[in-house]
Structure 1
Amino acid sequence: MKGMHYFIMQLSWDHCRSFLAVLAEGSLSAAARKLQLTQPTLGRHVAELEQTLGVALFTRSQSGLQPTEAALELRPHAEAMAAAAETLLRTASGEAADDRGTVRITASEIVGTEVLPPILARFTRRHPRIALELVVSNANDNLLRRQSDIAVRMATPAQDALVQRRIGTIAVGLHARRDYLDAHGTPQRLADLVGHTLIGFDTETPAVRAAQQSGLLPDRQAFRLRTDSDVAQLQMIRAGIGIGACQAPIARRDPELVRVLPEAFDFPLECWLAMHEDLKTVLRMRLVFDHLGEELAAYVKGRAD
């Protein structure tokens, strides 16, 4: 779309917010309810945006409003504006040199549900004026677009302009509940796994296929129970259904969980902290970043809750 970047500089944030709501909801009425606006107001925003850009953004169909190619091209730019607006609000919620305001953290499913809660509890007791927002997702939020302030990453951050800290390597091994092994036997070599109930992934993503090529993962058909949720896999292991992969520090908390074939299957998982370099001078960001770094290092070394 010619002149897109010039037009973006001229756009109203209200127009972009309305545009994104219609994209997400598929109709003016649903988008108006989401934003708590009247339908005519929201429709006017979209019409004015189309006039500014000189293109149609939606076409009507029986199923609602369908985005045009121009709308899909505009979408990532509008999402970047939305992320910047959210960051502005979080930054404005506290002074840079004060220990108050909001910090948004993103972490993987397992780290966000199993590792961070006690770590964040200790932080909030020390710094009651800092509010924390936790995004739990295995997708990597874009810190450069300010989708989050601080990220706990399970791989080396690839983006530039980030403050990065390597926490260490988390061992991931095969585990099963003790009573499952009592009933079905403990495998002595990898070939023995064939007769066991294995818990694993459902969708073969590029990352999964790369792990398969390196010999770390079998074909999905080897798993009798399949789910793409790491939390669900962990709960299945805890329920005694079968054998599955689990972070070793988490398994050590439960005396009923036994590591299986530790020498044959030992997958190292890198753990990193990252935040945008522009945030390193903001006190509350540094406080959270340093606290996470200290506590996650203790977790990796097996000294944490």
Structure 2
Amino acid sequence: MDFDWDDAKAFLVTAETGSLTAAAKLLRTSQPTVGRRVAALEESLGVVLFERSKNSLFLTPQGERILEALQGMEQVANNVILVAKGATESLAGTVTVAVSQVDACFTMPALINELKQLEQTLQVKLEVSNDSADLIHRNADIAIRNFRPTEENLIIRKLGDAKVNLFGTPELCAIHSERDNAASTLPIIGFLETDYLTKILVDGGIAKERINYVCLSDFQLSHIELAKLGLGFALLPTKLGKKVPELNCLFPKDHSVYDYSTWLVCHSELRHNQRIRFVYDFLAERLSR
């Protein structure tokens, strides 16, 4: 009996996420492709892995046992790859750094340019997403995260603390600063899932009834462009917002809607890799200034 590891990986991710759609997103492929791979694995093994209802997938007893076995195989494969990568002594090659959308646009370009001047043979690959990169499963070698990681086997370094504020055009800021701050409705450019953002704003001192979401997008750079057009206020790191000449901070300089800490993260095995260690140490020094 033989099976394709790509089929097994599709099954693993589907089982762990609970849906073909979520698995396709993580695997960066289409839902039908994931479905075909899972079906191919079922045919290869001669068992039914999932019970399917209209909107849900449930592991069969056989599927649960096979999932457990494949997870053990995946861990062994991951460890082998991490050890092999950790043995690399050359600076030549690729280092993947996972960053947020705003960091990819405003922070990393100058740093990558400086890195290339220091080491021409080094290639930096940016994994850009506001979701957390999975270092354990090698989605990235290094990550910049805006929260303290809790996973085991990670090396973490705190880069600093940051503040977040609402930024809009000078005209929009003037209108709302002149009004009764306790009563004016604030046009907010937000993310698709508004519950968490609403909690942040309320915890930051903005009454829930004042929040009016005028546009929603998970592409954070569009928030900045929409704010520059005067549509509403974008929630941005204070240091970043102050660098956008078309925008002003709605609140006084000492006010913060939300505070967070920034962390540089790397898998412990990869710290033995000279190339990754070089990039990690470089980012730690520059970003903690």
Q: TM-score with structure 2 length normalisation?
A: 0.73
Cα deviation 1:92-134 (Å, max 9, x = unaligned): 6796211022222212222233322222232233223223222
CA distance in 2, matches of 1:236, 1:29: 36
In structure 1, the partner of 2:43 is: 47
Count of aligned residue pairs for this structure pair: 271
- 2:187 is paired with a residue whose SS is coil
2:157/2:265 contact within 8 Å kept:
yes
**2:117 is the counterpart of 1:125:** yes
In structure 1, the partner of 2:263 is: 272
**2:276 is the counterpart of 1:295:** no
In structure 1, the partner of 2:145 is: 153
CA distance in 1, matches of 2:173, 2:59: 56
Residue pairs, 1:5-84, within 5 angstroms? 13-17=5-9, 19=11, 23=20, 24=24, 25=30, 27=32, 31=36, 45-48=41-44, 50-51=45-46, 55-57=47-49, 68-70=58-60, 73=64
| Percent identical | 22
CA distance in 1, matches of 2:217, 2:68: 26
CA distance in 1, matches of 2:167, 2:187: 12
Q: What one-letter code is carried by the residue in structure 1 that aligns with 2:138?
A: R
1:14/1:45 contact within 8 Å kept:
no
Q: CA deviation at 1:224?
A: 3.7
**2:211 is the counterpart of 1:222:** yes
Q: CA RMSD in A?
A: 4.0
Cα deviation 1:242-270 (Å, max 9, x = unaligned): 22322122222233322221244442221
2:169/2:247 contact within 8 Å kept:
yes
Unaligned runs of 5+ in 2: 15-19, 25-29
Q: CA deviation at 1:165?
A: 0.7
Residue pairs, 1:125-274, within 5 angstroms? 125-181=117-173, 184=175, 186-187=177-178, 190-191=181-182, 194-205=184-195, 207-208=196-197, 210-211=199-200, 214-216=203-205, 218-219=207-208, 222-229=211-218, 230-262=220-252, 263-274=254-265
In structure 2, the partner of 1:36 is: none
Q: CA deviation at 1:197?
A: 3.0
Cα deviation 1:246-304 (Å, max 9, x = unaligned): 21222222333222212444422211101111111111111111122222224xxxxxx
Unaligned runs of 5+ in 1: 1-9, 33-41, 299-305
